[in-house]
Structure 1
Amino acid sequence: MTTIMEAPDNIGELVQNAGCKYDWKARLSALEELRKYDCQQSRDVIIRLALHDKVYKVKEEAFRAAQAFGLEKNGRPINLGRKDIGYKSKDFTKLFLKVKRDKKMDELDLALFKETFKILNPEMYDVMSFEKGSKLDNWIISSYKSLPKD
């Protein structure tokens, strides 16, 4: 693949999509486009995603792009590191209890719960929708059932 040594015309849009915390597909798509260009803005975005993205697939692809460009952070090569979504079980418990309390849910209403989850913490929802994939609903149901009783 050949790299273009100048910034694309839509660099602002690509940078904005790469920073979209609530849509990992948009970040991945922007990354795929940015890796074709060798300009300072694309390098900055690639480094940021390789170091800080919570969706491992995005982080891994950014890491590969950083390796291809030979990018470094503070004079050191970028390491992929191990998978870490950045959330602990207590973070989920706290959010689930907040949704349950705010929506006065005695029984789980999955659609309402997911809608509220997206509003309260879109980044967490995005990460978990990637991590759990088609099993997201089952994870929400089992996590909800295991919440501490009042």
Structure 2
Amino acid sequence: MSIQESKTELPENYEALRAAANRTSSWRDRLAAVEELGKFNTPSTIDVLTHRMNNDTVYRVQEAAYRKLRSFGEDVKQPARRKGELIRGANKTFVRIKKSLPREHSYEAFKEKLRNMRLDLYDAYEGDKGDEFDAWLKSTWEGLLRR
């Protein structure tokens, strides 16, 4: 089988890649799945890539899906980077977590509880903010209202 032929058939691990592409708790897994699925030009992989391009909370994943779809010759528009809350109700969740901790808790305690309680939310913002994530989260934590 030639390389060209293999690119028009589903990969053997398609179901695992599809599951990874939809894993809300890991933008890295979604990005890796998009990169791998982007090697296979099939209706099923195009469907998964289109969904990630249109619906992922992390812009890097959206952009990677867009690039793969364009490389297949798909007529798609580059996704716009979201502004504000990536996940609806995120700020309320941050406030609830802060209020659930002792009054004099540390930033590290807040960060750990957020990661444990809402890994999907933590992961989305980490993927979106990149190297600026820690500074952004600490600033957000400092600005949250207290009881």
Shared fold (TM-score, shorter chain, > 0.5): yes
Q: What residue in structure 2 maps to residue 47 of structure 1?
A: 50
Tell me by how many angstroms 1:54 deviates: 1.5
Please give the per-residue CA displacement for 1:18-41, whole angstroms capped at 9, x wherever unaligned.
111121111111111111112232
Aligned residue identity for 1:99:
I
Question: 1:18, 1:45 within 8 Å by CA — same for their partners in 2?
Answer: yes
The unaligned stretches of length 5 or more in structure 2 are: none
Question: 1:56, 1:85 within 8 Å by CA — same for their partners in 2?
Answer: no
Q: What residue in structure 1 maps to residue 15 of structure 2?
A: 12
Query: Is residue 123 of structure 2 the alignment partner of residue 126 of structure 1?
Result: yes
The unaligned stretches of length 5 or more in structure 1 are: 72-76
Please give the per-residue CA displacement for 1:95-129, whole angstroms capped at 9, x wherever unaligned.
121112223x3124233322321233322211211
Q: What residue in structure 1 maps to residue 111 of structure 2?
A: 114
Query: Is residue 33 of structure 2 the alignment partner of residue 30 of structure 1?
Result: yes
- TM-score, with normalisation over the residues of structure 1? 0.81
* In 1: Cα distance, 2:146 partner to 2:88 partner: 15
> Once the two structures are aligned, what percentage of the paired residues are identical?
28
* In 1: Cα distance, 2:87 partner to 2:42 partner: 39
- TM-score, with normalisation over the residues of structure 2? 0.83
Q: What is the number of equivalent residue pairs in this alignment? A: 144
What is the root-mean-square deviation of aligned Cα atoms in Å?
2.4
